[in-house]
Structure 1
Amino acid sequence: MALPLDRLMQALQASPETAEAPALPNPAPLEMPVQSLKAPPRREPGPVAATGELGRRRAFVIGGAVAMTAIGGRQMYLVLNGAGQSVLGWMVLVLFVVLFAWIALAFTSALVGLVDMIAGRRRAAAPAGETVPPLGLRTALLMPCYNEHPARIASGLQAIYESLDATGRIDHFDFFILSDTTDPDVWIAEEASFLALRERTGGAARIFYRRRPKNTERKAGNIADWVRRFGGDYPLMLILDADSVMEGATIVRLAAMMESQPGTGLIQTLPVIANGTTLFARLQQFAGRVYGPLIAHGIARWHGTEGNYWGHNAIIRTRAFAEQAGLPVLPGRTPFGGHILSHDFVEAALIRRGGWAVRMAPDLAGSYEEGPPSLTDVAVRDRRWCQGNLQHASVLPTRGLHWVSRLHLLMGIGSYVTSPLWLIFLLFGVLISLQARFVRPEYFGDERLLFPNWPKVDPVLAQQLFGVTMAVLLAPKLMAYIVLLFDGPTRRACGGSVRVLGSVLIETLLGGLIAPIAMLIQSSAVVGVLLGRDSGWNAQKRDDGRVPVGVVIAGYWQYTLVGLVLAGAAYAVSAPLFLWMTPVLVGLGLAVPLVLLTSSRRAGEALRRVGLLQTPEEVAPPPALQRAVALYRQLSGEAEEDAMHRLLRDPALRAHHLAALPPPRRRGDGPIDAALVVGRAKLADADDFDAAWASLSRAEKAALLGSREGIAAALDLSAGGR
C-alpha cells in the first residue's frame, strides 16, 4: 500500500490544475548586503548636491523657527519673573523652549507651503491629455500583507490592475502579493483569493503570490526577501500597503519620472485618506485632505533631494534600495535593540547617504490610503510606531548621514517624546502656581537690594504669550483654508467656503478635545518602551470603528480620573488656573463619551449628510477608488471557511498550495518544527478528522498546512484511511 504522501504527489502530478501558471516568476537574485552604521557608506559617483535656492529655503524655515523660539523663550522668561529664578521655573522655561520650537518649525514649514501653492510654483502632475514618455523599465508593484482580510487585498489590486490596463502600459508592470500571514485560515483564504484574482483579471502572467513561513524582520524583511529573490528583473518597485489604491495614470507617471531622473532613488507621493465612515475617520480624512497638501508642499520645498519615505505609495529604484537599504539589527535588547520597526525613515536616510536623491511629489494626484476608524485603533498602532521611532536614537550616529536625514529621525523621535514633555510642562505649571500660593517668597534674597524682587507670574503677559502660542499652533489650518479659497473645484467639492469653515471649526474643536487623551496615550507608550515592554506587531483594524461601551469604559476611565484630579488641583490653586487648563480638563473628563462619539459611524454619516467634513473623494470618488470599494463589498460577503476543509474541498486550490510549499525537511536541516511533530501526532492518534483538527492550536494548523506530509496525513484521516 502506497504511503499517503506518495498518493498525494501522484494525484498532484496527474491533476490538470498543476498546468496553470506558477505562483512566482523565475528567480532573479539581487544582492542586498546589510549596511554598517559605523563604516563609511558606499556612494554613487556624483552625489546629488543642494542648490542655492534650496539652501535659502532651509535657512528661512530653520532660521525662522529659531528666531521665533528665541523670542518666545524670552517672553516666557519675563512671564515667570521671579519664579524663573527657581529650579522649577528654569525647568518650565526649558520645556517651553523645546515645545515652542516644535510648533515654530511646523509654522515656518507651512508658510513655505502657503507661498508655494499660492504662487503656483509646484512640480505639477501631468495635465489631462498630456503624453507620458514611453516606459522602458519594468516595475514591480509590491503589496506586503499580514493577517489582512484577503478581500481587501484583492479588491485594491484588481482596481489598480484594471486602471493600469486602461492606460495601455500594463505590460511594464507585475504585481506581487507578499504575505507574512500567520493565521492559517487567512493564509489559505489568501491563496484562494489570489487564484480568483488571476481568473477575474486574466493576469496569470503578471500577478504573483509568495508567503514566507517565518516573518523575520517583519515588513522590512518581507520587502528585502523579495529584492534578494526577484529584484534583479525589476529596475523599479512600487511599495503599496494593504489599504493602498492608486490610479493607473499616477503609477505610469511615477515610473516615467524615475526613468527621467537617473539620480533619484525614491519618490514619495502624498496618499489621500479615503473611505472613512466613522466620525474619527472622517476627521482624519478631512484634515489630511485640507491641511495635508499645504504641509506636503512645505516639506517638499525645503527637504528637496533629502526627502523622506512613509513606507507605502512610493516608487523606489531597486538597485539603490538593494545597495544601500539593507537594515542591520540594532545592538541591545528590545525595545531599543533588535530589528528596526519604523524602517521607512531609516531606509530613506540610507538611500540618500548612498548618493541617491529622495524626493516628494505632492502634486501628483491619484494616491489613496485608509485611516484607522477610532482612537482605540490609533493607540494600538501608535505603540508599535512609538517603539520604532524611539529606536531611531540608535540610528542617529550613523556615519555619513545627511544632516536633513538626521533631522527626519529627530522629528520622528520628537513626534512621540513631545507628548510626555507637554504633560510634564502642564504639571510643572500647576506646581509653579502652587509654589506661588503656598511658599513664602524671598523679596530681597541674600543680597542687599534697594528694591525688592517680586517673584510673581505676570498674568497679562502670560495671556498674551498663550494667545501667540495658540496662534502659531493653529496658523497652518488657517493657511490651508486660505489656499482652499483659491482652489475652486476643491472648495466646491468640500461643500463651499462656509461649510469648509464649519468643518475646520469642528475638526479643530474635536481635535483639541482628543489631543489631551492622545497625549496621555502616547506618554504611556513612551513610558512602556522605556520600561522595556515590546509593542509586538498586530494587524491593523481598517473597517468598523465600533467598540463596545464596556471596553471603552475599561480602557479610558483612567483618563477621566486624571482629568478630575487635575481639575481639582487647578481649582484649589486659583480660578484663573482652572480656566486656563479648561481645554485639557474637558477633553480628559469627557474621554469615554468622546471615544464613543468619534468611533460612531452614525455620527460620521450624520455630518456627511449635511455636507460637513466633506472631501472631494466622498463626493465624486476617483474611478480606481470607486472600483476598489465596489469590489470589496462584493468579495467581503463571501462565506469564510476553515483552512483545511477548504483545501479538502477545492482540488485547484490544493494543487496550487502544494506546488508552492518548500521541499520537505531533510535530516539535519535546521531545528525540528515542534508544532508540526505534535500536529501530526494528534492526527495519527485520532479517529475523527473534524474533532482532531478542532483540537489543534493555530501554530500546529499552520505547521501542518506548510508541510506536504502534514496535508497528506490530514487527507488520509479525512478519507478514513487509518
Structure 2
Amino acid sequence: MTLRDKAAILRRRSVFLALVLGTIGGLFYLMALLLAGDGLDLIDVGLLGCFLVMLPWNALNFWNAAVGVGLMLRRGRPLDRVVPRLRSRAPLRGRTVVAMPIFEEDPTRVRRHLEAMRASLEALPQAAFFEIHILSDTQDPVLSAQEACSLEAWPPGPVSIHYCRRTTNADAKQGNLWAFLDRLRPGFAYMLVLDADSLMTGAAIHDLVRRMDADQHLGILQTLAVGLPSASGFARLFQYGMRQGMQMFALGAAWWQGATGCYWGHNALIRLAPFKAACRLPTLPGRPPFGGLILSHDQAEAALMRRAGYAVRVLPEEAGSFEENPPTLPEFLKRDLRWCQGNMQYGRLLFWRGLTWMSRLQLLLAMLMYLQAAAWLGFLLLSLLRPLLIKAGLLAAPTVPGKAALGFGLYLVVMFMVLTPKAMGLLMTLLRPGARHAFGGTRTILVSGAAEFLFSLLLMPLLAARQAFFILGLFAGRARIWSSQRRDQHRVPLGEAWRNLGPMAGLGCLLTVSAFWSAPTSLPMLLPVVLPLMLAPFLAWASALPAVGRWLVRLRVGATPEEFDPPDEVRAAGHDLASRSLPAGRAMTGLTDGLA
C-alpha cells in the first residue's frame, strides 16, 4: 500500500467514524435530555447505559448502507473503488487446495456440491492447479460408513478429490483444519476454505487466485456467499432480505475498512504461509463458555493475519459464491446462538499484544452485534419498570412538559435508522435495470420486499430476546455444545415450536399485561415488540410448512436471481427450483395487478 493509499483510507475512516460517532453522540444526548429533565435516578442511568450499548451497531449499519448506496449510484464499477483493480492477465502462479470440513453431513449432498465444483474447475485452462480435500469429523458409525461409500472413491481427472476422516474430533472445525494443514504436503500457496453447504463456481475461484497472485501482501480474500435457491418458506424470506442489502453493506464497509476487512470462515481464499506461521489460535484460559477453545475462530484469525502484516479484504461482489441458509427458525436460532457464544469470547482477545486498532474494533463490533440484544431487552424492561413503580407509589411521576413528544420523536428516529437500510437495498435493486430484471421485475420485487419486511418485523424482536436470554445464560456459566445442522427442508411440529419458543411467547404476554396495567398509552409503541414474541411458536411452525414453501416458490415470492436463471453449478448441485415454479410473469398475475 502506497503512502497515497494510506492517506486515502485514513481520510475515509476519519469521515466514517465522524458520521458514526456523531450519530451516537446526537442520539445519546437526546436520550439524556429526555431522561434528565426532572433529574436522573437509577432507572434513568440504566436506560442510558442500555441505550448507549444499542447505538454503535445500528449507527454502523446505517452508515455502511448509506456509503454503499453512494458508491453504487456513482458511475463505473463500485468494486474498483474499494478493492485494488485486477489488471494482470498472467497465468496462475500459486496452487490451491480446496478444503471442505464436514461433521455428520448428508454425504449425498456433499458429493453433489463437490461434483459441481470439480466440473466447473476442470473447465478452466489451469485446472491442475487445484486439488480438493474432504475433511470429515463424523463420529456416528453408520454415517461414517455412508460417507466412506459415497466420498472415498472419485473418478480420475485434472482436479483430484481426497477424503479423510479423523477418528476423534478434537477442537472441532479448527482442529480439523489444523490437523489437515499439519500433514499437507508442500507445494500449495493458497487454501480455499468451504463449509459443508458451500458451493463456488470455477470462475469465482479462479478470480480469487488471480487477485491473490497479483497482491503478495493479501492474506485473506473473503467472498460474499449468497443463499442458494430454497423451497423452505423461512429460508426464502430470510435470505431475500439478506440478498437485497448484502452488496450495499459490504461495499460501504470495504470503503472504510480497506485492508482490515472481515473474514467469515468459509468461501474465502487464504495465503497458506502466513496463515500457518501466525494464525494458529491458543486455547483461552478458564472454562467454557468464555474459556477453552475459541469457537468463532474466523475474526480471531483475521486479526492475527493483520498482526503478521498481511491484508484481509472482502470482495463485495455477488459472483459465483453460494451457501445454504437454515431451513427453519429453530435451526437458524441454533446456529445464531453458537455464533453468539463464540463472539462473546472476543472480550478475552481485545487486549492481545500487537493487534491493530482496527482489528480490536472489529472484535468489539462482533461482540456488540449480540450485546445490543441484551441491552435492548434491558431497556425494554426498565422502561416498563418505571410506570409499575409509579403505579405502586414508589416513584414520582415525571413532571417535565413535552417529555412524551420528545420520547416519541426519538423512537421514530431510531426506527428510521434501523429500517431505512432495508428500503435502501430494495430501492437499489429497482433502480438498476440489470438487477431489476435478475430479481424478476418490479412487481415480483415489490411483493417479495413487502413479504420480507413483514417477516423481518416478526423475526427481529424474537431474535433479539432469544439472544438476550442466551447471553444471560453465558454469564451464568451455561455453555452451548456445537452440533451438526439439519439442512434439508423439514416440518417443525407445533409442540416442538412451543417447547423451543414458548418462553418468548410468555415474555410477550407478560410485557403486554404489565404495560396494560401500568401504562396503557404505551401499548401502541410496544405492539411491534410484544406481538412477534407472542407469535414466535406459530412463526416457527408456519414458516416450516412445506405447503407455505411451495406457495412462495410458485408465486416467486423471495426468489433470487439464481432461481430465475440458475448457473450450471447450481443446477448440477441440485438447487434448480424451476421445475416447481411458474414463470415469473404468470406467478405474479392477479396478485399484483395494477403495479407498474
Match of 1:89 in 2: 44
Match of 2:105 in 1: 148
- SS of residue paired to 2:270: strand
Match of 1:295 in 2: 249
Q: How do 1:101-180 and structure 2 match up within 5 A? A: 101-119=56-74, 120-123=76-79, 132-180=89-137
Q: 1:369 aligned to 2:323? A: yes
Q: How do 1:10-89 and structure 2 match up within 5 A? A: 51-82=6-37, 85-89=40-44
Q: 1:471 aligned to 2:428? A: no
- SS of residue paired to 2:133: strand
Residue 170 of structure 1 and its aligned partner are, at CA, apart by 1.1
- SS of residue paired to 1:368: strand
**AA at the equivalent of 2:144:** W
Cα pair 1:271 1:313 within 8 Å, conserved: yes
Q: For residues 522-546 of structure 1, what are the alpha-carbon distances to aligned partners after superposition, in whole Å with 9 as ceiling and x for unaligned?
A: 1222122222222112011111141
- SS of residue paired to 1:502: helix
**AA at the equivalent of 2:503:** Q
Residue 84 of structure 1 and its aligned partner are, at CA, apart by 5.1
Q: Which has the larger radius of gyration?
A: 1
**AA at the equivalent of 2:54:** L
Match of 2:583 in 1: none
Residue 608 of structure 1 and its aligned partner are, at CA, apart by 2.9
**AA at the equivalent of 1:500:** I
Q: How do 1:490-529 and structure 2 match up within 5 A? A: 490-529=435-474
Q: 1:555 aligned to 2:509? A: no
**AA at the equivalent of 2:554:** R
Q: How do 1:455-604 and structure 2 match up within 5 A? A: 455=400, 458-604=403-549
What is the aligned residue count? 572
**AA at the equivalent of 1:163:** S
Cα distance, 1:242–1:442 mapped onto 2, change above 3 Å: closer
Residue 123 of structure 1 and its aligned partner are, at CA, apart by 2.6
**AA at the equivalent of 2:11:** R
Give distance in 1, aligned partners of 2:47 and 2:179. Answer: 48
Q: For residues 377-432 of structure 1, what are the alpha-carbon distances to aligned partners after superposition, in whole Å with 9 as ceiling and x for unaligned?
A: 02222232222111111111100111111111112111221111111100111112
Give distance in 1, aligned partners of 2:548 and 2:470. Answer: 29
Q: For residues 48-88 of structure 1, what are the alpha-carbon distances to aligned partners after superposition, in whole Å with 9 as ceiling and x for unaligned?
A: 99622212221222211111111111222232344551111
Cα pair 2:53 2:371 within 8 Å, conserved: no
Give distance in 2, aligned partners of 1:387 and 1:507. Answer: 27
Cα pair 1:144 1:180 within 8 Å, conserved: yes
Cα pair 2:235 2:328 within 8 Å, conserved: yes
Match of 2:228 in 1: 274
Match of 2:587 in 1: none
Match of 1:616 in 2: 561
Q: For residues 319-359 of structure 1, what are the alpha-carbon distances to aligned partners after superposition, in whole Å with 9 as ceiling and x for unaligned?
A: 01101101111111111111111101100110011000111
Residue 169 of structure 1 and its aligned partner are, at CA, apart by 2.0
Cα distance, 1:438–1:533 mapped onto 2, change above 3 Å: closer
- SS of residue paired to 1:105: helix
TM-score by length of structure 2 reads 0.91
Cα pair 1:132 1:253 within 8 Å, conserved: no
Residue 437 of structure 1 and its aligned partner are, at CA, apart by 4.5
Q: 1:257 aligned to 2:211? A: yes
Cα distance, 1:498–1:78 mapped onto 2, change above 3 Å: farther
Cα pair 2:197 2:323 within 8 Å, conserved: yes
Give distance in 2, aligned partners of 1:223 and 1:137. Answer: 20
- SS of residue paired to 1:298: helix
Give distance in 1, aligned partners of 2:357 and 2:296. Answer: 19
Residue 107 of structure 1 and its aligned partner are, at CA, apart by 0.8
TM-score by length of structure 1 reads 0.76
CA RMSD of aligned residues (A): 2.3
Cα pair 1:82 1:456 within 8 Å, conserved: no
Give distance in 2, aligned partners of 1:484 and 1:328. Answer: 44
Cα pair 2:389 2:395 within 8 Å, conserved: no
Cα pair 1:83 1:432 within 8 Å, conserved: no
Cα pair 1:167 1:248 within 8 Å, conserved: yes
- SS of residue paired to 2:573: helix
- SS of residue paired to 2:134: strand
Residue 554 of structure 1 and its aligned partner are, at CA, apart by 2.0
Give distance in 2, aligned partners of 1:132 and 1:86. Answer: 66
- SS of residue paired to 2:355: coil
Give distance in 2, aligned partners of 1:49 and 1:142. Answer: 37
Unaligned segments of structure 2, at least 5 residues: 578-596
Residue 610 of structure 1 and its aligned partner are, at CA, apart by 2.2
Cα distance, 1:433–1:65 mapped onto 2, change above 3 Å: farther
Cα distance, 1:406–1:563 mapped onto 2, change above 3 Å: same
Cα pair 1:324 1:350 within 8 Å, conserved: yes
Q: 1:194 aligned to 2:148? A: no
**AA at the equivalent of 1:99:** M
**AA at the equivalent of 1:599:** A
Give distance in 2, aligned partners of 1:440 and 1:187. Answer: 64
